[in-house]
A and B are shown apart, each in its own frame.
Chain A
Amino acid sequence: MASLLEIDKLKTQFFTTAGVVKAVDGVSYTVDEGETVAVVGESGCGKSVTAMSILRLIPWPPGKITDGEIRFAGKDLLALSEEEMRNVRGKDISMIFQEPMTSLNPVLSIGMQLTETMLAHTDISEEDAHNRAVELLGMVGISEPERRLVQYPHHLSGGMRQRVMIAMALSCEPKLIIADEPTTALDVTIQAQILELMKNLTRDLGVALIIITHNLGVVARYADRVNVMYAGKIIESGTAADIYYRPHHPYTLALLKSVPRMDQQRQAKLDPVEGQPPDLTMLDEGCAFRPRCRFATTECAEGLPSLETVEGGHATACFNKDQVAATMKEAS
C-alpha cells in the first residue's frame, strides 16, 4: 500500500544576500494513513521548513523548493496549480501552529473563523456549518460552545485558543494534520491536555499527524515513528524505540544524553554536545555534524554519509554507526 504522504529528496533553499541557505537538503520520509510521525531537531534544522514546503507556504523571494517531490494520496503537490493547491490546504491537509496568540485573526469571532474554512471548501450551508462548529468545539473540550462562537480570540486563554485551532484543523475532515510545535507556548498541565486531545482525536478519526517538536519527552509519549533532523537533513529515522534505545547516530545519542530526566535522580553532570549548529550557508562536502562529533574520522570530511538501513525501518546516516551503537550499549 502506498503511503498517504511521500516526501522524496526535497530541497528547499533560501536565496539571501549572505548566500544560499540550504534549509532542507534532500529530505525523504513517508507518513502512512492514521500514523503519528514526529520530526525532531533543534532550531534551524529545517523541520518547520519541511512542513511549510508540504503545503507550499514557502515565501518567494527568498525561499524556493528547488528539487524533489511531494506526493499526497497519489497527487504530486509540487505540480498542482495555485488554485488546486488551495483546495488541498485546510481541506486534505491542515496545520496547527505554535502560537495560538498570533495564528487566529483577532478581529473575527471564533464562529466566523471556524465556519470560514468549511464554507470555502465544502458545499455546506451556513446553518449546517454553524451546527458543525458547535459540534467541533464540543469535541475539543470547550464548554458552552454556542456562547464561544460569538466570542473573539482575546476572550480565550492560550490553551482554549489552541483547542480552537485544533477544531479548525479538523473542520473539513482532513487526512493529514501537520502540528508545528503545537504545545511549546503552553504550560505543562495544559500541554498535556492538548496533546492527549490530539492523540485521541487523530486516533478516533483516523487522521495522520506530523508532529514537529524539539521536546524528546513529547515524542516518546506520542509518536509511532521518529525522524531526527540536523542541518537540513534527516540523520536518523525509525520507531520511537529504535531512536531512544538503539541510536546509531552520534547526534541522536548526544541529544538523548543532554536532556536531564525528571524521573531520575541526578547521577552526574549533563553531557552536552559542544559547539554550535553550523551556518547553513557554509556547508561543505562532508558530514555537517562532524565538527561537534566525538566519533568523527577523516572519512567524515571527505564525503556525506547517506541514510542507510540498520535494521527494518531503522536507518541512519553515519559512517561510524557501529561504534555509536556500541557506546550506547556500554552506557546502558
Chain B
Amino acid sequence: MSPPNEAVAREDAQFRGVPTDDVLIDLKDLKMHFPVTEGVFIQSVIAHVKAVDGISFKIMKGETLGLVGESGCGKTTTGRCILKLEDPTSGEIIFHGQDLMNLDDKEMVEVRKKIQVIFQDPFSSLNPRMKIGEIIAEPMRVHNIVPDEEARNNRVVELLNTCGLKANFADRYPHEMSGGQRQRVGIARALAMNPEFIICDEAVSALDVSIQAQVVNLLEDLREEFGLTYLFISHDLSVVRHISHRVAVMYLGHMVELAECDELFDNPLHPYTRALLEAVPIPDPDLENGRAHQIIKGEIPSPINPPSGCVFHPRCPSAHDGCKKEFPEFREVKPGHWVACTEV
C-alpha cells in the first residue's frame, strides 16, 4: 500500500488519470543476450551482445513510464522482449499475474491483443500497397474481433476520427499522407484492438516540432479517454519529461536510475543521468549562457565486451577503483527513487 500523501500527490496535473496502484507489468531481472556467431556452415557462438542485462521495473495501470537512454542501451530491446518479439535469455515478464515467459506462441497471440506497439518510422511501418482503411482493419480481421465487414468499416471511421483524421482517409494510400498523418494511422491501428498497454517506441521522434506536439497531445488524450498504459521509449528527454509519470534511465543494458518524473529531472542522482541532462540544450538563450556545459567525455562502449563492474565507470567523473569490480546494486535511496551507484 502507498502512504496517504502519495495519493494526494496524484491529484495534481502530473498524475491525472493514474487511478490505482495496480501493477500491470512487472519485469524481473530481464536479460536478453544475442549470440554473435562465426562461420558459414558450422556456426559457433563466439560472444554475446548483452543488449539487456538484468533489468527490473513495474508499470502501474494507467501510468506512462518513460524509458530513456542513448543508442544501443537496450531500450528498444526491452520493449520487444515484453511482446516476446525477442526470446529473452532469462527473467520474468508478469502481465496480469501471468508470466509471459512460460507462454507458447499460440497463447502469446491472445496477449498481443492487449499489448500494442507504435513504431518510430511512419514511413516503413505501414504497408505501402494497402489502403489506410485496410491497414487499420487488418488486426481486427486477423484476431476476428469484429467479424462483420460493415461493422469493421464503421469502426475504422470511428478510429480515424478518434485520431484526428477524416473518414475519407480510409481510401488513401500511405504515400498520399504526411509523416504526422501516418503516425496517426499507426496509432489508430494500435487502438483497433482495444489494448490496455501500448509500447511507444520513439513514436514522435521522426516528426517535426509542430507536428510532434500534436501527436504528443493525441497520445495523452487517448490515455485519459481509454485508460491506457504506456511504455514511452525515447531518446528525447524534453518529450519524456512532458509525457511521463515516472522515468527510467538505461545505459548499456542496465537500468541506472528510476524515479518520479519531476524528481528525476530536478534531482538526478546517477552521474550518467546528470551528464545526459546537462547535454540537452534548452530553448532559452540566457539560460544556456549561464549553464556550465560540463560535457561528458568518451563514447558508449560495445555491449559485446562491456566494461567490468559498473558499465559507466570509464566515462564517469566520480569513478573510483571499486567501480571496476562490481556492478552496483540498484537500490532505493529515497521513496520511489532508485539508483545504481555506490557514490550516491
Contact = CB atoms under 8 A, between A and B. Distances in A.
Interface of A: 42-43, 157, 159-160, 187-193, 195-196, 214-222, 240-241, 244-245, 254-256, 258-263, 265-274, 276-277
A266 B281 contact: no
Contacts of B217: 269-270, 272
20 contacts: A188-B280, A192-B293, A193-B296, A195-B281, A215-B281, A220-B285, A259-B283, A260-B239, A261-B238, A261-B282, A261-B283, A262-B265, A262-B277, A262-B282, A263-B287, A272-B210, A272-B212, A272-B213, A272-B217, A276-B211
Given A159-B299, A187-B71, A196-B293, A256 B283 contact: yes
Given A157-B299, A190-B299, A260-B242, A220 B283 contact: yes
A214 B208 contact: yes
B285 A187 contact: no
B109 interface: no
B150 interface: no
A298 B242 CA distance: 36
B243 to A, nearest CB: 8
Nearest to A265: B262
Given A42-B208, A261-B282, A188 B238 contact: no
Contacts of B22: none
Interface string B196-225: 000000000000111111101100100000
Nearest to A196: B295
Contacts of B279: 188-189, 191-192
A157 B70 CA distance: 14
Given A42-B209, A276-B180, 20 more contacts: A188-B280, A191-B279, A192-B296, A193-B296, A195-B281, A196-B295, A217-B280, A218-B281, A220-B282, A220-B283, A241-B285, A244-B285, A258-B212, A259-B283, A260-B238, A262-B238, A262-B282, A266-B14, A266-B242, A272-B217
A146 to B, nearest CB: 20
A269 B239 CA distance: 12
A183 to B, nearest CB: 10
A244 B284 contact: yes
B276 A240 contact: no
B283 A216 contact: yes
Given A196-B295, A244-B283, A276-B178, A266 B13 contact: yes
Interface in B215-266: 216-217, 220, 235, 237-239, 241-243, 262, 265-266
Contacts of A254: 210
Interface centre among A43, A189, A258, by most chain B C-beta atoms within 10 angstroms, is A189
A245 B284 CA distance: 8
Interface centre among A215, A219, A260, A274, by most chain B C-beta atoms within 10 angstroms, is A260
The 4 closest A-B pairs by CB, nearest first: A217-B281, A272-B213, A260-B242, A258-B213
A42 B71 CA distance: 24
A277 B207 CA distance: 13
A212 B284 CA distance: 18
B300 interface: yes
Contacts of B213: 258-260, 270-273
Contacts of B107: none
Given A260-B242, A272-B217, A42 B282 contact: no
B288 interface: yes
B75 to A, nearest CB: 12
Interface centre among A160, A190, A258, A270, by most chain B C-beta atoms within 10 angstroms, is A270
Given A190-B299, A260-B242, A269-B220, A217 B209 contact: no
B275 interface: yes
Contacts of B296: 189, 192-193
A220 B284 contact: yes
B300 A221 contact: no
Contacts of A157: 299
A274 B211 CA distance: 8
B285 to A, nearest CB: 4
Given A260-B216, A260-B238, A269-B217, A221 B210 contact: no
A187 B300 contact: yes
B176 interface: no
A189 B276 contact: yes
Contacts of B208: 42-43, 214, 277
B295 A189 contact: yes
B282 A189 contact: no
Contacts of B70: 187-190
Nearest to A272: B213
Contacts of A258: 209-210, 212-213
A221 B281 contact: yes
A143 to B, nearest CB: 10
Given A262-B238, A262-B265, A270 B13 contact: no
Contacts of A270: 213, 216-217, 242
